Amino acid sequence: MSYSRRDFLRMSSFLALATALPTRSLFSKSRVLTPENFTEIRRNVGYFTGRGGTIGWMVNREGAVAVDSQFPDSASDCLRGLEQLIAGQVSGMDASPRTQPEQSAQITDLMVDVLFNTHHHGDHTGGNGTFRPQTERIVAHSNVPDLQRRQAQMRGGEDENTYADTTFDESWSVAIGDETINARHYGPAHTGGDSVIHFEQANVVHMGDLVFNGVYPFIDQGGGANITNWITLLETVAQNHEADTRYIFGHGNPARGITGSREDVLAKRDYLAALMDHVMISLQAGMSLEETRSITSLPGFEDFVSFGPRLSLAANLEAAWNELSAQ
C-alpha cells in the first residue's frame, strides 16, 4: 500500500494524538473525539466559536478547510480542534463533536488545505499568521489584502498581517474529497471584499459578516461598504440556494444564535431596506442627521442588539445617510 504526503501527515496527526491521550479515551466506543467549541451542522461541516467572527470548518478523509481565523489565541484553539477531528477521520471514528478530549495533541504541518478569509477585518484574519505554518493556501477576494494593508496603515505601527496568497475577482472553487467548496464575491456590501463560502454537498453557506444575526451590523464605509448592494446581495444569495440551506453567520444575537435559515438572511435584507427607507424619508423631509439618528429602534426590529458604538442603530443610520446623500 502506498501513502501520499497528505496520508502521511494525517497519520502523523493521528499518532501524535494517540500518544497524547489515554488509550481508553481514544478507542473507547462510549467516548467520541470532540474538540471544545466545535459544532457539526451536517456532512462533516460545522462551526467553531472562540473570540471573534465565527469560524467555519470542514474535515473529511481527504482534507480540511477553515473559513476565517479570528485572533491568534483562538486560532490556536481551532487548529488543535481540527487536528482532533482529522485524527478521528484517520482512525475511522465518528468526528461529530460530543465530548471534549482530556488533552490536546501537537499541531501537524500542512494540516489545513485551504483557509478562506470572508473579508479583511481583524477578528476574521488576525489568526492568519497562526494558521499559516499549517495551511497550504489562504484564499480571499482580491480586495482583501489591500484593505488589510490600508487598515494597518491607518492604525499605525508595524503591519503584522498575514495575507492571502491566492485571490480571485468573482469566484474560486476547490474539491476536497467528496466536498466542493465555492467562494463567490457579489460586489461591495459589508466591505469591498466580502465572500460567500458555499460547501456544496453539505449545503452549508458561510456568510461572514454579511449577516449579523439580530445584531446591528458594522457598515464599513471606509472599507468600501455599500448598503444598496448589500440588500441585493442578500436577496441573491437566498435565491441562489435551496430552502433547506443552513447558513453560518459572522456574529449573532445570543437569543438567535450564529446559524440560521434563508429567513434569517432575508430578515437582514429587510432590516437594511428599512434602514435605507427611514433615512430616505428623513432626507426628503429636510431632517438633519441628528434628527434622523435620534430614533431608538426601527419598527419590526426592536429586538436587535448592539455590540458597541460601531454596531449600533445610530451608526447604521449615519452610514445610510452618508450613502444616500452622496447619490
pLDDT in tens, 80-120: 999 999 988 877 644 444 444 444 444 456 799 999 999 99
Query: Which distant-in-sequence residues (6+ apart) come within 8 Å of 196 by Cβ?
Result: 118, 183, 184, 185, 186, 205, 206, 207, 208, 210, 237
Q: Is the dihedral of CA 72, 40, 165, 189 positive or negative?
A: negative
Please give the helix or strand (H or E) that residue 111 lies within, else none. none
Cell of 22: 489515554
Which has the higher per-residue pLDDT, 125 or 92?
Answer: 125
SS3 198: strand
Question: How confident is the model at residue 18, as a pLDDT?
Answer: 43
For residues 158 and 39, what is the distance between their CA atoms, to the nearest angstrom? 36
Report the DSSP pairing between strands 251-252 and 212-213: parallel
pLDDT in tens, 179-227: 999 999 999 999 999 999 999 999 999 999 999 999 999 999 999 999 9
For residues 83 and 70, what is the distance between their CA atoms, to the nearest angstrom? 17
> How confident is the model over 129-140, as a mean pLDDT?
97
For residues 7 and 115, what is the distance between their CA atoms, to the nearest angstrom? 19
> How confident is the model over 14-35, as a mean pLDDT?
44
Q: Give 33's pLDDT tier (boundaries 50, 70, 90).
A: low
* Residue 22 confidence (pLDDT) above 90: no
Query: Which stretches does DSSP call E strand in the chain?
Result: 38-42, 45-48, 55-60, 63-67, 112-116, 135-141, 166-168, 171-176, 179-184, 196-199, 204-206, 212-213, 246-248, 251-252, 259-260
For residues 113 and 100, what is the distance between their CA atoms, to the nearest angstrom? 24
Cell of 195: 465572500
Which has the higher per-residue pLDDT, 22 or 115?
Answer: 115
> How confident is the model over 151-157, as a mean pLDDT?
84
Q: Give 14's pLDDT tier (boundaries 50, 70, 90).
A: very low
Q: Give 232's pLDDT tier (boundaries 50, 70, 90).
A: very high
> How confident is the model over 36-64, as a mean pLDDT?
95
For residues 24 and 44, what is the distance between their CA atoms, to the nearest angstrom? 24
Query: Which distant-in-sequence residues (6+ apart) come within 8 Å of 287 by Cβ?
Result: none
> How confident is the model over 7-26, as a mean pLDDT?
44
Question: How confident is the model at residue 279, as a pLDDT?
Answer: 98
Question: How confident is the model at residue 318, as a pLDDT?
Answer: 97
Q: Which of 94, 52, 113, 60 is nearest to 77 (CA)?
A: 52
Instruction: Count up the domains in the chain and report the number.
Output: 1
Q: What is the mean pLDDT of the chain?
A: 87
For residues 230 and 316, what is the distance between their CA atoms, to the nearest angstrom? 13
Distances (CA, A) of 19 to 4, 12, 26, 111: 23, 11, 10, 18
Q: Rounded to an integer, what is the distance from CA 276 to the centroid of its chain?
A: 26
* Residue 126 confidence (pLDDT) above 60: yes
What DSSP line would sit under 209-269, residue for residue?
Answer: GG-EETBPPP--GGGT--HHHHHHHHHHHHHHS-TT-EEE-SEE-TTT-SEE-HHHHHHHH
For residues 14 and 63, what is the distance between their CA atoms, to the nearest angstrom? 14
CATH of the domain at 59: 3.60.15.10
Q: Rounded to an integer, what is the distance from CA 73 to the centroid of its chain?
A: 17
Question: How confident is the model at residue 108, as a pLDDT?
Answer: 54
Domain residues for the domain of 129 are: 5-325
Question: How confident is the model at residue 36, as a pLDDT?
Answer: 85
Lowest mean pLDDT among 87-96, 126-135, 270-279: 87-96
Q: pTM for this one?
A: 0.87
Report the DSSP pairing between strands 179-184 and 196-199: antiparallel
- Asked if 147 and 172 count as a contact pair (C-beta separation under 8 A), the reply is no
The percentage of the chain sitting over the pLDDT mark of 70, rounded to a whole number, equals: 84
Q: Give 327's pLDDT tier (boundaries 50, 70, 90).
A: confident
* Residue 21 confidence (pLDDT) above 50: no
